[in-house]
Amino acid sequence: MCHYTHFTTEEREKSRVLKAQGLSIRAIARELGRSPSSVSREFRRNCYANGDYAAHHADKLYRKRRRNCGRKAKLLDDTIRDYVMEKMNLRWSPEQIAGRAKRDKEPFSISFPTIYRAIDSGILPPQLKKIMRFKWKHKKCKGTDRRGKIPNTTPISERSAGAENRSRYGHWESDTVLGMRKTGCFGTHVERKSGYLVAFRIDDRQDNAFNHATIKAFSSIPEKLKKSFTVDNGKEFAAHKALAEATGMKVFFCDPYSPWQRGTNENTNGLLRQFFPKGTSFANVSDDDLQHVVDLINNRPRKRLNFLTPFEVLQNFFL
């Protein structure tokens, strides 16, 4: 095992004095308790061009070599940096970037901690932190449910096993995402197995408006993907019977204050919030604007899909 340690500033200063006194390499080594080869190497590496030796100059050269030694940061490579920056601007997470690069057999390998370190160290622009997604804190329930109970609902406990364990396609979770007051909202439906998102803008959360937009959106969804909706107890789902009849899909209701029962939708709404933060006015958000964001999300790789995208998972249904 190697126990070699680099020269200290004190050793370098003592070496300078002994060298100036005319002592030999071996004599200086004995005084320092070092091997002659270590002393010889120190002088060879850190002397001035004329052969003179000074401790401060030797320290300066040593520290410069230390900065330049070791493995170089991967993100200093332009090819890797450009790849990461392109995906980060598409709002991919570092884990998604690293996983997809491996899946696509890119000519380089990179881990997601490396990407985080590159952002923290300044190799990648620190502004990227502003568009990165952070974990949400769970909200505590305040009081009891004061919303009027929607009649004739079917509880989530009656949902089929294929929907519950994500073994079957065609089961969706539904919700709304609110914009600034009186500027409308988004209706969102997320397919549980693939994470595929369908979204639309409506002027308010009235049940008729939500149903009309949902029916229109699902008119282009293949029949094999139209089995059920899982919703919360919001007023936009009050006309659930009409929605079920028009789409041919069952509607199941979560327990009050149980957002984790629609975890896929909650998570996907969080992805939407990367582009439309809370307090954003939806008044000037066009259908094309929203669809562009939906396309970005549906083409973002997911770890649970082995870094395939939701679109890639469902694309055969649309052929």
Residue 14 vs residues 31, 43, 62, 236, 242: alpha-carbon distances, Å: 9, 13, 17, 82, 91
pLDDT confidence of residue 59 = 87
What confidence tens digit (pLDDT) does each residue in 14-66 have? 988 998 888 999 999 999 999 999 999 989 988 888 888 988 888 888 888 87
What confidence tens digit (pLDDT) does each residue in 181-231 have? 999 999 999 999 999 999 999 999 999 999 999 999 999 999 999 999 999
Q: 241 phi and psi, to 5 degrees? A: -65, -45
Three-state secondary-structure class, residue 156: helix
Q: 273 phi and psi, to 5 degrees? A: -70, -15
pLDDT band at 137 (very low <50, low <70, confident <90, very high): very low
HSE on the CB side for 302, CA within 13 Å?
20
- Long-range pairs for 167-171: beta carbons < 8 A, 24 or more residues apart: 167/193, 168/193, 168/227, 169/193, 169/194, 169/224, 169/225, 169/227, 169/314, 169/317, 170/224, 170/225, 170/226, 170/227, 170/228, 171/227, 171/228, 171/230
Strands across the sheet containing 197-202: 197-202, 185-191, 171-178, 228-231, 250-253
Residue 128 or residue 225, greater confidence = 225
Counts of helices then strands in the chain (DSSP H, E) = 13, 5
Q: 280 phi and psi, to 5 degrees? A: -75, 135
pLDDT band at 2 (very low <50, low <70, confident <90, very high): low
**pTM beyond 0.85:** no
Q: Compute the mean pLDDT over every residue in the chain, rounded to the nearest whole number.
A: 89
pLDDT band at 129 (very low <50, low <70, confident <90, very high): confident
Residue 144 or residue 257, greater confidence = 257
pLDDT band at 135 (very low <50, low <70, confident <90, very high): very low
Residue 67 or residue 169, greater confidence = 169
Which residues neighbour 297 within 8 Å (Cβ) at sequence distance 6 or greater?
91, 197, 268, 271, 272, 310
Q: Give the burial string for 23-42 (b: 16+ CB within 10 Å, else e).
A: eebeebbeebebeeebbeeb
pLDDT confidence of residue 1 = 45
pLDDT confidence of residue 238 = 95
